Structure 1
Amino acid sequence: MALTLPLLRRPGRTAVLLPGLVAAVILAAVGTAIGHAAPVVGSAVPAVVLGSLLATVRRPSAGLTPGLRFAGERVLQASVVVLGLRLSLRQVVTVGLGSLPVMLGTLAVCLVVARLVGRRLGVDRDLQALIGCGTGICGASAIAAVAPAIGAAGADVAYAVSTIFVFNIAAVLVFPLLGHALGLSQHAFGLFAGTAVNDTSSVVAAASAYGPAAVDHAVVVKLVRTLMIIPITLALAALTGRRTTPHTTPRRAPTRGRTLRLVPWFLVGFLLMAAVNSTGAVPTAAGAPIAAVSTFLITVALAGIGLSTDVAALRRTGHRPLLLGAILWVTVTVVSLAVQAATTGL
């Protein structure tokens, strides 16, 4: 309801969003049908793959863009909020604390490798930071938060987002297969996906292909990981300020209010819904419908993301940032599994 009310108050906005949303919903319906026919594949993966293939063959018209963007951002965030109704605050705290060793170990290694390998490859310092944070924390959201703190150029932001997108799609396709090959449990895969996949959408998509328990676990781990945006952004802003010389323009450090705004609204909504569920206000019988609604919203979001694939932008990214992204992706995957094996035994 919170999503629809602003649109109802602005009918012009609804008209702008509708074409792209309808396209995403239709593709999501196709993905859902495929998921019912082949449960092991799920619905999210077919939606994003088909969307990407369609975008490669024929770029969606400009009229579809607003609705597709809305699907890939707001609808996805709404699906995460709905997922909160399936968990209690006790579960959130337990899973969050239990994931800290894997999450912090993975993030630390990712940032160090980004710096060392990025410098070796000749990748610009700002681009190193953007790709490292995007891979280690939460994809495009981390890139958007870090960019103004370090004064990154728009081209660097575009390169970083394009690079992250490539490995988001790769994770959605490869990680469920890897999890089954390793015999990971639902919870183990959720921890793996929550710490090793770049973007929230891809975390949810990969976990959806593995199972409902994996989704619940992965979302909590991912949202705790997302909170790392705040200290990392502040640290990078401080380091950037120290590098400023008398002949350069100082970069404005994030204020306290601006820092608080880095916390995604859907994280707050997710916790509020978990709090509601903790009171027993949500009937047990509502669990299956809630899961179905959340899954379909996820599929709509992934369809929108797939249809928004900008193939030309990916080609313009060049091989060095992509190579850095690939190395970081493999590094995070290996470290996540290794730390989890060492701390929990998988």
Structure 2
Amino acid sequence: MKPYQQTVPFILALLACLTPFVTSPTALVIGFFLASFGLVPSQVNLAKITKKLLAYSIVGLGFGIHFEQALAVTSNGIGLIITSIVGTLVIGWWLTKLLKLEQKLGYLIAAGTAICGGSAIAAVSPAIKAEDEDIGLALATVFVLNSIALFVFPVIGHALNLDQQTFGTWAAIAIHDTSSVVGAASAYGEEALTTATTLKLARALWIIPVAFLSAFIFRNDSKKITIPYFILFYCAAIAFSDLLPQFEDAYTLIFDISKRALVVCLFLIGCGISVSKLKAAGAKPLIFGVTLWVLISTSSLAWLTLA
């Protein structure tokens, strides 16, 4: 295939990902189809570009975190938040060994389940130096479960007669990505939406300690820890926007651009996945993701309704 026959579809797809019509899961699928049909330019180092763009995107997302509000919500539910995050990571580590799943892949899915889906995976992957293939498989697993949760959670909530606050809290803990949390909660009610959105943004703060912990756990043989410096800039972005609230419009713009950049990242990651790679990975990543998700969903629901 001639270079321009690869480049033209790739550029058109990339431009489409810059529009608001393409969501994160869609971008990943588009990249996957291009890779499967050999329409990804081989002369471009997509892995290097993706890693840098991921870091920039995460820093930009920090401008969308309102520190005082997030801290207040975190302090109100600190026990449940810490227990769910630590519990998910520990159980994920154990399941990874039980299923004999690749360690970094299992850790990425667990981190995405524990905190905030694709954003957590994007933040943790540079800290542990994950391969693009592992990142893509982790994101694909999370997005599949997100799509299911968007429709299933409101049905379960109504069947169990959960009140607005309980459902909002449950959605924020048990659904991976913020977008799906907002979608499920908005379908349930206004109070559920407010509770779920605020709590989910509060959980996003936990990307910071988890990223540093991840760098320590996956340090190389020389025992040298790779410091994820972009997380420091993420903290700086949160502090800057909190100390200078008069620039709220600029922060909103940066946050929106960063979310769109993250969609582009997922497109590029999708370009590194193919049918052959998925077959080689097998069903283990999905089985792992589903098992971990069911455990955290049922246990958190039991905590909220029986406590």
TM-score (norm 1): 0.60
Is 1:261–2:233 an aligned residue pair?
Answer: yes
Instruction: State the Cα distance separating 1:165 from its structure 2 match.
Output: 0.9
Equivalent in the alignment of 1:95: 73
- In 2, the alpha carbon distance for the partners of 1:225 and 1:185 equals 21
Q: Residues 108-147 of structure 1: matches in 2 within 5 Å?
A: 108-147=86-125
Tell me how far apart the structure 1 counterparts of residues 88 and 142 of structure 2 sit (CA, whole Å): 14
Paired with 2:158 and 2:108, the residues of 1 have a C-alpha distance of: 31
CA deviations 1:236-270 (Å, max 9, x no partner) are 211222xx3xxx57665215x533234596x6799
Match of 1:227 in 2: 205
What residue in structure 1 maps to residue 301 of structure 2?
Answer: 337
What is the identity percentage for the equivalent residue pairs of Structure 1 and Structure 2? 32
| Aligned residues of 2:70 and 2:202 also touching (Cα < 8 A) | no
Structure 1 CA distance for aligned equivalents of residues 154 and 130 of structure 2: 34
Give the SS at the match of 1:235: helix
Q: Extract structure 1 runs of 4+ deviating beyond 6 A.
A: 15-18, 267-273, 310-314
User: What SS is found at the alignment partner of 1:261?
Assistant: helix
Task: Please give the alpha-carbon distance, in whole angstroms, between the structure 2 residues aligned to 1:331 and 1:164.
Answer: 15
Asked if the contact 1:102–1:340 (Cα under 8 Å) also holds between the matched residues in 2, the reply is no
| Cα distance in 1, alignment partners of residues 148 and 105 from structure 2 | 21
The one-letter code matched in structure 1 to 2:300 is: S
Count of residues in Structure 1 that have an aligned counterpart in Structure 2:
255
Q: Name the structure 2 match of 1:319.
A: 283
**CA RMSD, aligned part only?**
4.2
1:157 and 2:135 aligned:
yes
Residue range with higher mean Cα deviation, 175-184 or 93-102: 93-102
The amino acid that maps onto 2:134 is: D
Q: Deviations over 1:76-124 (max 9, x none)?
A: x99x95x97xxx95x6554332222222221122112111111111101
1:175 aligns with 2:153: yes
**1:207 and 2:185 correspond:** yes
Most deviating of 118-127 and 314-323: 314-323
> CA 1:130–1:210 in structure 2 vs 1: closer, same or farther (change >3 Å)?
same
**1:135-183 Cα deviation digits (max 9, x unpaired):** 1111111112211222222211111111111111111111111111111
CA contact (8 A) 2:81 2:203 kept: yes
Please tell me whether the aligned partners of residues 229 and 262 of structure 1 are also in contact (alpha carbons under 8 angstroms).
no
Distance in 2 between residues matched to 1:223 and 1:207, nearest whole Å: 14
> Structure 2 CA distance, aligned partners of 1:126 and 1:196?
22
CA gap of 1:319–1:338, structure 2 versus 1, over 3 A, is same
With structure 2 as the length reference, what TM-score do the two structures score? 0.66
The Cα shift of 1:130 comes to 0.7
8 Å Cα contact 1:105-1:339 kept in structure 2? no
Cα distance in 1, alignment partners of residues 84 and 74 from structure 2: 15
The DSSP-based 3-state class of the residue aligned with 1:198 is coil
SS of the aligned residue for 2:162 comes to coil
